[in-house]
Structure 1
Amino acid sequence: MSDAATPPETAHPDTQMAQVVLITAVATIGGFLFGFDSGVINGTVDGLRVAFNSQSIGTGFNVASMLLGCAAGAALAGTLSDKFGRRTMMLVAAAFFVISAFGSGIAQSSAEFVLYRIIGGLAVGAASVMSPAYISEVAPSKHRGRLATIQQVAIIAGLFVAFLSNYFIAKATGSALNKWAFGFEAWRWMFWMELIPAFIFLLALLGIPESPRFLVARGAVDQAEAVLTLLSSDHSAKRKVAEIRQSLTHDQKPSISDAFGRGTVFKPIVWVGIGLATFQQLVGINIIFYYGAVLWQAVGFSESDALLTNVISGAVSIIAVFIALALIDRIGRKPLLLVGSIGMTVTLGIVALCFSQAVMIDGKVGLPGSYGLIALLAANAYVVFFNSSWGPVMWVALGEMFPNQVRGAGLAVSGFFQWIANFAITVTFPIMLSIAWIGLTGAYLFYAVCALISVFFVMNFVRETNGLELEEMTE
């Protein structure tokens, strides 16, 4: 299919819905790569430390370097998509995924590795805001929540596949540090596995249309009607085009300036987006994604068992996202966020308590008695609460909460803050781990406090968007 294609004026609803699902599936490959690229680093931390001879701060920066690119990618993609299109920016992201996956594996120095990870970060940042925005702009309102939630399913699936790939590669070689095929270290092959989905994404994007709301904003009304007819019907397509045109500021094309207000720097709705994006990171979820293997080894797990624990967490995450998938269009976005915040506060508190009991066992740090099992169960319960609430719902909310005129700019600003918060949390974790009076206990206690604050943020500032058309969103 293509933008210029002229579909039949009357198509069966099942065929139209199948088209929407197919387009959504292609867009969410970006989410899969987002997850894979974020999760693959988990099993390579030791390899990077040895290969580049880095200490805790250097290792933290190597792991977190991608996130600087993510911040820039999110900020640039949101604004550039208003100029060049949602699909165009996803195509650029796909090409960057390919470059980053190959380059990260061939890197011979920390500086070279950081460069390729930043390129990957640009791709992840762009995909993180463009995929949910694109899905929200092509999906019918009554199915929008479930379809947009597939993005989180894809992210978690990407994480899970990365964890699984890392586990099997490390198991085949005995360690991520050992050499594997063609004499290259196992950790390099962990990055190269990403080339497969990256090429699939690049090719699949050539077969989907541009966002109809972008086309209307750029004056391509006939193309927008053709896309909407493909996804709904000729009658509703004409009505929807008229609604989109009315929702856009007359004689003004969307730009980054639409995010700014008077007196408070950003418009109130943009501040809410920033809050949602930032709190999603301050609860510490990516510490488990990025440092899971290091985390569990720090309390006595072997490398193999730690990587297997990551696989279990990935599988649990996928199940949790399906819970959100079943509930998001039934009970709404706000209730899921509230339940998630409360659940994360409790489970993070339990994890912090368990880590406070760590002792030396046979010369190694470990958790005595049943504390290890309780920590493992609480950590996975935390993952369930996150991935059935804040994981998918934050992206759904950001994709639909902004008015058409502000969507690109609002996503750019919110996405930028989301990745800056991610960077701050990720780069500081190994530093906190190395400071005796903070350690794992202090780190997880901080994340628990942030989760508690997010309860009050959701209660007071987040509006419900379930069942509303995008044209009904207001500032």
Structure 2
Amino acid sequence: MAPPKLRGALNIGFQLATTIGILAANLVNYGTNKIKGRYGWRISIGMAAIPAVIITLGALVLPDTPNSLIARGYTDEARRMLQKIRGTNEVDEELHDLVEASEAVKQIQHPWRNILQPKYRPQLMVSIFIPMFQQLTGINVIMFYAPVLFKTLGFGDNASLMSAVITGVVNMLATIVSIVVVDKFGRRFLFLEGGLQMFISQVAIGVILGKAFGASGVGEMGKGSANVLLFLICVYVAAFAWSWGPLGWLVPSEVFPLEIRSAGQSITVSVNLLWTFIVAQLFLMALCHLKFGLFFFFGIWCSLYGIYIFLFLPETKNVPIEEMNLVWKKHWFWGKYITDHDHQIGYSMRPMV
């Protein structure tokens, strides 16, 4: 439903909603921790029912998209919905494109077989590497285990929860920054700048922890060092929130042509959830064994995915999805996988934007 020029900002609205939810959860945990007795954690878990109810009720009133209406044969209703969301009655050209795209969708067969073809190699790599690298930034180490991590570093119970709230606020505000600048500065710039900022902050965190606790993991950290550490973690969270957080979902949604879109998006989500699971399961064990070296470990990954973005990801800002094949065709590396015939086919099939 998003027009191409606002596609980035509106897509990142998804990530902004996620950061608001994370902040809300941190605030709930901080508040319920002050409840005396054994009921605080029960209230914290039980309140998760509130957003579930909101989602359920919201689904009942959520309008259908023009694409969905056309796919089910309701072309007139799709026209009216387009006029409503575009704010104009001049929607004939876009409606025609959507109808053509819907007809093309009905002709598509074997998207999973298609995505394995050499001409779709760049999109397949995006669907694998972008979500994998997003999780290997180490962000879920901070967001999942922030209270545990801060308590391990010497913060008290309430202080560790408050620190998690602070990082949640930074996460939300930095995502708003991404919404404002993503369609101005482009995806590659934010990827590279955010990666560099995360790399520097991860290395600095590792150095501070190494000096304070050493390889044994035993030591003390002064209040000043603890405050510096919290600041560096906020710098890291901000970098992720305006780069790899939202762009890890935005860029894959932009690069798949119609004939492989369902397979590509499925791979993206599956890889993301797989690495979320892996990082969540292994973090505590890795922290026990690597100690401060864990931050160097994630810092190395920051440098690796920076190289990947610099060499292999073209800019997708303001590029209509139906013209994305031309971007890959012009790329110094991926262009060799796409023939002129492949490019013409991709350009003639005008998918929905």
1:411 and 1:235 map into 2 onto residues whose CA distance is: 32
- Quote the RMSD (CA, aligned, Å): 2.5
Of 18, 22, 26, the match for 1:155? 18
Answer yes or no: is the 8 Å Cα contact 1:156–1:318 preserved in 2. Answer: yes
Of 57, 65, 76, the match for 1:211? 65
Answer yes or no: is the 8 Å Cα contact 2:111–2:261 preserved in 1. Answer: no
Of 220, 241, 247, the match for 1:387? 241
Residue 314 of structure 2 corresponds to 463
TM-superposed deviation, 1:303: 1.1
Q: Deviations over 1:180-212 (max 9, x none)?
A: 2xxxxx222211112112211211222222232
| 2:316 partner letter | T
**Structure 1 residues 254, 204: CA separation in 2 closer, same or farther (over 3 Å shift)?**
farther
Q: What 5-or-longer segments of structure 2 have no aligned partner? A: 326-345, 347-353
Residue 304 of structure 1 corresponds to 158
TM-superposed deviation, 1:219: 5.0
**Structure 1 residues 237, 424: CA separation in 2 closer, same or farther (over 3 Å shift)?**
same
Answer yes or no: is the 8 Å Cα contact 2:9–2:182 preserved in 1. Answer: yes
Alignment of 1:6-155 (within 5 A): 138-155=1-18
Q: What 5-or-longer segments of structure 1 have no aligned partner? A: 1-137, 181-185
SS in 1 for 2:317: coil
2:61 and 2:271 map into 1 onto residues whose CA distance is: 32
Alignment of 1:123-272 (within 5 A): 138-173=1-36, 178-180=37-39, 186-217=40-71, 219-232=73-86, 236-247=90-101, 249=104, 251-253=106-108, 256-257=111-112, 260-262=115-117, 267-272=121-126
| In the alignment, structure 1 residue 452 sits paired with structure 2 residue 303 | yes
Answer yes or no: is the 8 Å Cα contact 2:105–2:258 preserved in 1. Answer: no
Residue 324 of structure 2 corresponds to 473
**Structure 1 residues 218, 451: CA separation in 2 closer, same or farther (over 3 Å shift)?**
farther
SS in 2 for 1:452: helix
SS in 2 for 1:159: helix
Answer yes or no: is the 8 Å Cα contact 1:259–1:270 preserved in 2. Answer: no
2:263 and 2:77 map into 1 onto residues whose CA distance is: 23
| 1:162 partner letter | A
| 2:18 partner letter | I
Q: Deviations over 1:3-34 (max 9, x none)?
A: xxxxxxxxxxxxxxxxxxxxxxxxxxxxxxxx
Answer yes or no: is the 8 Å Cα contact 1:357–1:367 preserved in 2. Answer: no
**Structure 1 residues 197, 146: CA separation in 2 closer, same or farther (over 3 Å shift)?**
same
Residue 287 of structure 1 corresponds to 141
Residue 426 of structure 1 corresponds to 280
Residue 376 of structure 1 corresponds to 230
**Structure 1 residues 369, 298: CA separation in 2 closer, same or farther (over 3 Å shift)?**
same
| 1:472 partner letter | E
TM-superposed deviation, 1:256: 4.7
SS in 1 for 2:310: helix
Q: Deviations over 1:379-426 (max 9, x none)?
A: 110001110111112222222222233333211101100111111111
Of 120, 129, 136, the match for 1:275? 129
Answer yes or no: is the 8 Å Cα contact 1:344–1:382 preserved in 2. Answer: yes
| In the alignment, structure 1 residue 341 sits paired with structure 2 residue 195 | yes
TM-superposed deviation, 1:223: 3.9
Answer yes or no: is the 8 Å Cα contact 1:349–1:448 preserved in 2. Answer: yes
| 1:470 partner letter | I
TM-superposed deviation, 1:171: 1.6
| 1:453 partner letter | L
State percent identity of aligned pairs: 28
Answer yes or no: is the 8 Å Cα contact 1:299–1:358 preserved in 2. Answer: no
Answer yes or no: is the 8 Å Cα contact 1:247–1:471 preserved in 2. Answer: no
